[in-house]
Structure 1
Amino acid sequence: MVNKIVFANFKGGVGKTTNSVMTSYELAKKGYKVLVCDLDPQANSTQLLSRTYALQNDKELLLSKTMMVAIQEKNLDSAVVEIMDNLYLLPSHKDFVDYPDFLELTFLPNEPNYKEKRIAYFDYLLSDIEDDYDFIIFDVPPTLSVFTDTALYSINNIVIVLQTQQRSLDGAEAFWEYAQEFYHKYENVNFGIAGILPVLLKNDSNIDNQIINDAAESFGEKNLFKTIIRHMERLKRYDRLGISEKGYTELNDFHDTKVHSLYSELASEILNRVGVENNE
């Protein structure tokens, strides 16, 4: 059975894209077949993985069509591209901003349950290909939107990304409250919380520790990941140039080794939390 996970927070700039892509990357390295589904019109996951492909293959990633076109053609598989062994991308583009309008024209207000049909439509299309993958990782905007609702309708688990600042904690709490309301609103949804992922603004900062303690009190100690993503400058280079690693590029150094080791640990903890046996 495929595991579908969304990385989320209602606060922007907390590292949702970085952590969803890096987790996907490490799961793929562990032998799991992973599809990154970029449900954000800003297409940040698509950009990061496109740069990763270009860096590792010394050529640009060619996208024959966007996800929006594939949706209109009712064939998501036609837009999927391979980034590396076991890692695939369903790419977003600026045209994906038209998706809410497409749904409004497809499911009119005079239809029974038209609101649910709109947010369920992507899951309906995804069902044709989801069994080809072990994991589908969703990246969504930090907003109340049809994009977020679409992911929530599809997923099995939520990873709430918590950057150690008060606004991020507020956004995490607001997202979880919304997700609970969403869960009880629709009979066909069935997801749990995989955990709260702490992402440090600064290493060994008092405010970081205070936010993590507040999160433990708010969500419960057991729901906090034991793996903590510490501040690492190398991740900024990945955003600009793509993910580098020994065996793929000449840019690899001990900073890359440190980053990949940390995210491999995170991927292993996610496997444990969602009840999947580790291939390693």
Structure 2
Amino acid sequence: MKDEWMTCEEVAELEGISVRAVQARCARKTLPCKKIGGVWKINRLEYEHQKGKFLVTQKKQILKSENSTVKSALVFANAKGGVGKTTLSVVTADKLSLLGYKVLLVDMDPQGNATTFAGLQPYRGTGRPGNGEYKEALHDVLLGQVFELFGMENKIRTRDAIYPARGFYVLPTDNRAERIKYWLLDNAHAFSTGMDLYNVWTEHFPFLLKNALKEVEKDFDFFIIDTPPEMGWATTNAMMCATDIVIPIELGNFEVAGLEMVFTFIDQCAVKNPKLKILGIVISRYGPHRSRLDIDLEDQLRKHEIWGPFVFQTIIYRTLLVREATNAYKSVFEYWRKGMSRDSLQSLDEFTDELIMKLILNNKGLDNIEAGEKL
């Protein structure tokens, strides 16, 4: 464990300045410090919070369930791309893992961006993959479920395709996952009638992911599922095993109007999955400067008779932090560089806090958390 107190030399090395400059800041009380034995010492935890390196305070109470069954299978979904689904799914996995939960991030988007953001790359060689590489992926797991469905041997178990990332685990994906939905067409000759083919597609294929995750549901507190920008086969699979849905949205007339299609799709999925609930709508990729149109659209969304009650109070602002952290394959809560504002992290931290509180309030039956416990 790191020492509670830092020396002026440590801070000077971290910030690339002189020791004398750090001592001067201590004398002006602009650093969380005090003199110990006649030498300035800086409180490590308060310094890191001040610099914005860690916005997740260690003093927060970790909310834990008495059992190890998954509390929530949380899906980020929207028919439109570029609204922040992948970013928020990975950020949420990072935050929950920092709070001490066991989290599995499931990447359902064949683009594999959540997999990349989590720091995993496909293994191109033979034998066992190394750190930060994956071999088996979502495609192999779901194909194994298809084989089981038709009485064939499943050689890839779900656990075989789960890899450790920074603090959480990942079920990765790549463009091979796109081929799963064409499997029935490729093997249509094996069915006696078109009705048999249709029944398999509508009654069994939507539950492939749910059946696959049953194998590991007692190993994790949360499933976080990133979905592609469509309301198709992959998103349907995510909905069938979900308990909660978050809909990221960028403010715009077309985007707001598209919510009706998303809500209709969720209603259709809820017929087969009664546990499915909308946790909320989060406004993302906002700003950095608020225009009159942004203010009007936000006000329109919050006052809407149907959608208004679901809108998160927190707004996710545009920031270079996410792009830089992605390029560095690091958590946004740990990535930092000189000159970056603490405010660039604030909205992401506030969003995840609000999300966790909504999960606690909306899913009382999922865990044994007492109503009186607070973050």
TM-score range normalised by the length of the shorter chain: 0.7 to 0.9
Map 1:18-37 to 2 at 5 A. Answer: 18-37=87-106
Residue 266 of structure 1 pairs with residue 351 of structure 2 = yes
**Contact in 2 for aligned 1:30/1:279 (Cα 8 Å):** no
Equivalent position to 2:161, from 64, 76, 79: 79
Gaps of 5+ in 2: 1-68, 122-129, 145-154, 362-368
Tell me how far apart the structure 2 counterparts of residues 197 and 245 of structure 1 sit (CA, whole Å). Answer: 18
Closer, same or farther: CA 253–154 of 1 in aligned 2, 3 Å: farther
| Relative contact order, higher structure (CA 8 A, sep 6+) | 1
Structure-1-length-normalised TM-score: 0.85
Which deviations, in whole Å up to 9, do the C-alpha atoms of 1:140-174 show, x marking residues without a partner? Answer: 11113110100111100110101112222123332
Equivalent position to 1:42, from 111, 131, 138: 111
Tell me how far apart the structure 2 counterparts of residues 261 and 14 of structure 1 sit (CA, whole Å). Answer: 19
Aligned residue type for 1:159: V
Map 1:108-147 to 2 at 5 A. Answer: 109-110=195-196, 113-114=199-200, 115-147=202-234
Q: Secondary structure at 1:228's aligned position in 2?
A: strand
Tell me how far apart the structure 1 counterparts of residues 164 and 120 of structure 2 sit (CA, whole Å). Answer: 13
Closer, same or farther: CA 182–171 of 1 in aligned 2, 3 Å: same
**What residue in structure 1 maps to residue 329 of structure 2?**
242
**Which segment drifts farther, 122-131 or 173-182?**
173-182
**What residue in structure 2 maps to residue 69 of structure 1?**
140
Cα offset for 1:17?
0.6
Tell me how far apart the structure 1 counterparts of residues 264 and 294 of structure 2 sit (CA, whole Å). Answer: 23
**What residue in structure 2 maps to residue 183 of structure 1?**
270
Residue 89 of structure 1 pairs with residue 170 of structure 2 = yes
**Contact in 1 for aligned 2:141/2:212 (Cα 8 Å):** no
Closer, same or farther: CA 16–141 of 1 in aligned 2, 3 Å: same
Cα offset for 1:221?
3.4
CA RMSD of aligned residues (A): 2.7
Q: Secondary structure at 2:109's aligned position in 1?
A: coil
**Contact in 2 for aligned 1:245/1:252 (Cα 8 Å):** no
Tell me how far apart the structure 2 counterparts of residues 103 and 139 of structure 1 sit (CA, whole Å). Answer: 24
**Contact in 2 for aligned 1:162/1:198 (Cα 8 Å):** yes
Which deviations, in whole Å up to 9, do the C-alpha atoms of 1:77-130 show, x marking residues without a partner? Answer: 111111122x11100011111111236659964168421211012201111102
Structure-2-length-normalised TM-score: 0.65
Tell me the percent identity: 24
**Contact in 2 for aligned 1:244/1:252 (Cα 8 Å):** no
Work out the number of aligned pairs and report it. Answer: 269
Aligned residue type for 2:245: I
**Which segment drifts farther, 1-10 or 112-121?**
112-121
Gaps of 5+ in 1: 53-58
Cα offset for 1:230?
1.3
